[in-house]
C-alpha cells in the first residue's frame, strides 16, 4: 500500500508542476525508422494522465511505439525545464484524435541558464 501512496503523491506533485509550466509542451515520439518526431501540443491533466491532441504521424508512432516524452520549456526567470516520460494510448471516446499519456517518470532538468549551484536534475516521479 505504501507504494501506491508514493505514486499518488508523485502524480499530484507532477500535476502541480505541469500546471505551473502551462499547457503548451513538445511531444517526442519515435518513427518506424527510429528517428524522433517532435510536435508542439496543448496538454491537459485528466484522471492522472496528460491528454494531448495528435496528428496522423504522432498517432501512428504512438500506436507502434507507445513510449513518448513531453518537454515543457523553462518559463521566463526559471532555470528548469520539465521532462515527463510516459506511455501513450489512443483515447477512443474523444471527438478529435487524442492520446492519453500515463507518466512513468518526471524531472525538472536544469537549463544552461540555471544556477550551477542548484541540482542538475530534480525527480518528481520515479518509475514504480
The domain limits of the chain are 2-125
Confidence of residue 8 (pLDDT cuts 50, 70, 90): low
For residue 78, the number of C-alpha atoms closer than 13 Å in the C-beta half-sphere is 14
Q: Which of 52, 40, 55, 47 shows the shortest CA–CA distance to 88?
A: 52
Instruction: Report the pLDDT value the prediction gives residue 9, as an integer from 0 to 100.
Output: 58
The per-residue pLDDT of the chain, averaged, comes to: 90
- In DSSP notation, 109-123 reads EE-TTS-TTS-SEEE
CATH topology of domain 2-125: Pnp Oxidase; Chain A (2.30.110)
> How far apart, in whole angstroms, are the C-alpha atoms of residue 76 and residue 31?
32
Span 62-87, pLDDT tens digits? 999 999 999 999 998 899 999 999 99
Confidence of residue 128 (pLDDT cuts 50, 70, 90): low
Span 85-122, pLDDT tens digits? 999 999 988 889 999 999 999 999 999 999 999 999 99
Contact assessment for residue 104 and residue 86, using Cβ atoms and an 8 Å cutoff: yes
Amino acid at each position: 500500500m505504501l507504494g501506491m501512496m508514493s505514486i499518488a503523491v508523485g502524480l499530484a506533485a507532477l500535476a502541480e508542476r505541469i500546471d505551473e509550466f502551462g499547457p503548451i509542451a513538445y511531444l517526442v515520439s519515435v518513427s518506424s525508422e527510429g528517428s524522433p518526431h517532435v510536435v508542439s501540443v496543448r496538454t491537459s491533466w485528466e484522471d492522472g494522465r496528460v491528454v494531448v491532441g495528435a496528428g496522423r504521424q504522432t498517432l501512428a508512432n504512438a500506436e507502434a511505439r507507445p513510449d513518448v516524452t513531453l518537454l515543457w520549456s523553462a518559463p521566463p526567470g526559471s532555470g528548469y525545464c520539465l521532462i515527463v516520460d510516459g506511455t501513450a494510448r489512443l483515447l477512443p471516446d474523444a471527438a478529435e484524435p487524442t492520446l492519453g499519456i500515463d507518466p512513468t517518470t518526471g524531472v525538472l532538468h536544469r537549463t544552461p541558464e540555471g544556477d550551477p549551484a542548484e541540482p542538475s536534475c530534480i525527480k518528481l516521479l520515479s518509475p514504480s
